[in-house]
Amino acid sequence: MTQGSDLPGGIAMSNGRLAAERIEIATKLVVRVAEVRVSEGNWVADGTLLVRVDTTETEALLRQEQAEVLEARQQAIQADARSRQRRSELTPAETEDARVLLHATGLDPFSNRPAGKLSGGLKQKLSLCSARPDNVDG
């Protein structure tokens, strides 16, 4: 170390190398590395891309899940269409019987809600109504 004449008192100048701390890199997911873009000992700037991961399997899973969602939506549309068709085929007496059952069980406020969206207790009531439509006391 040398004391430079241009430097203020208490300041020294030196040549040398500054060694940074070793930094460990870990992922939260198990992934396959497709490419390592730096070598050990390379200097890297903040934001430098260090590795590229292989996303082939993840993208395939995503496409599979998207297909399953689409299929579920199609099934829901078909079920809704069947339900509408069945309701349109009800006779006025059957429609009145259904209205009486809904009112007697307290389900009338939920008459337009799909069965799958009802709470557990309401599903039980609906199940009982469906199982015993001949026991209506009007």
The answer to whether 118 and 79 have CB atoms below 8 angstroms apart is no
- Average pLDDT score over residue span 30-44: 86
Angstrom distance (rounded) from CA 77 to CA 71: 10
Is pLDDT at 38 greater than 80 in this prediction?
yes
Q: Around Cβ 101, how many Cβ atoms within 10 Å?
A: 21
Whole-angstrom CA distances from 125 to 7, 60, 122 are: 89, 42, 5
Torsion angles phi and psi, residue 105, rounded to 5: -95, -5
Range of 22-31, 69-78, 109-118, 124-133 with top mean pLDDT: 69-78
Residue 67: its pLDDT value, please? 96
Is pLDDT at 108 greater than 80 in this prediction?
yes
Q: What is the pLDDT of residues 78-98, one digit of tens each?
A: 988 888 888 788 788 888 887
